[in-house]
């Protein structure tokens, strides 16, 4: 999705205009592609991305468009221009975000639960099975209370 927004920003900058329809189409299309590309369990992570990617692409494309104008552009002019570029994409950001929310709601019932169950270490954790089992036993004993944990001097 970010690459679609970046591509829309490049197209917008190449046309020499302020951010507008091209960027809007790319952001909405990128959101649709991203929603279909991720796992159903992770689709909710797409929800904040359309607005953030649009804001970044619109700002960069707008600055590129402004750099071709007068060399003495003031900071105030750039700040006002940036606010206008961001505001011009409100409908596109809203549409793309609602698309992501609708897709997350539609795909949520089809997610599969984690086959390993809760409390299982993530697959990239480099913890051996014996070490994981020992840690879990220690945690279980500690949760049971202080009398359940044998004292190291009990056998001495």
The answer to whether 46 touches 35, Cβ cutoff 8 Å, is: yes
Please tell me the predicted confidence (pLDDT) of residue 20: 80
Please tell me the predicted confidence (pLDDT) of residue 19: 79
Per-residue pLDDT, averaged over 119-127, amounts to 59
| Residue-wise pLDDT tens digits, 30-76 | 999 988 888 877 888 888 889 888 888 888 887 777 766 655 567 78
Please classify residue 100 by burial: count the beta carbons closer than 10 Å to its beta carbon, then call 0-12 exposed, 13-18 middle and 19+ buried.
Answer: buried
Q: What is the pTM of this model?
A: 0.63
Q: Which alpha helices (DSSP H) does 89-128 contain, by range? A: 90-107
Rounded to 5°, angle at Cα 106 from 103 and 111: 105
31-35, 108-112, 130-134: least confidently modelled range: 130-134
Domain spans of the chain? 2-110
Pairwise CA distance, residues 32 & 4, whole Å: 10
Position 88 pLDDT exceeds 80: yes
Position 143 pLDDT exceeds 90: no
């Amino acid at each position: 999705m970010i690459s679609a927004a970046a591509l829309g920003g490049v197209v917008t900058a190449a046309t020499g205009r302020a951010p507008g329809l091209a960027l809007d189409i790319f952001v909405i299309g990128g959101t649709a592609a991203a929603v279909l590309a991720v796992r159903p369990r992770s689709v909710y992570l797409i929800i904040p991305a359309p607005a953030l990617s649009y804001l970044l692409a619109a700002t960069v494309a707008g600055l590129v468009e402004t750099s071709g104008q007068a060399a003495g552009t003031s900071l105030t002019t750039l700040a006002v221009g940036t606010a206008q570029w961001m505001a011009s994409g409100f409908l596109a950001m809203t549409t793309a975000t609602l698309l992501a929310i609708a897709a997350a709601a539609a795909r949520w019932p089809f997610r599969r639960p984690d086959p390993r169950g809760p409390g299982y270490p993530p697959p990239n954790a480099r913890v051996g099975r014996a070490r994981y089992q020992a840690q879990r036993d220690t945690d279980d004993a500690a949760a049971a209370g202080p009398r359940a944990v044998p004292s190291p001097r009990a056998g001495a």
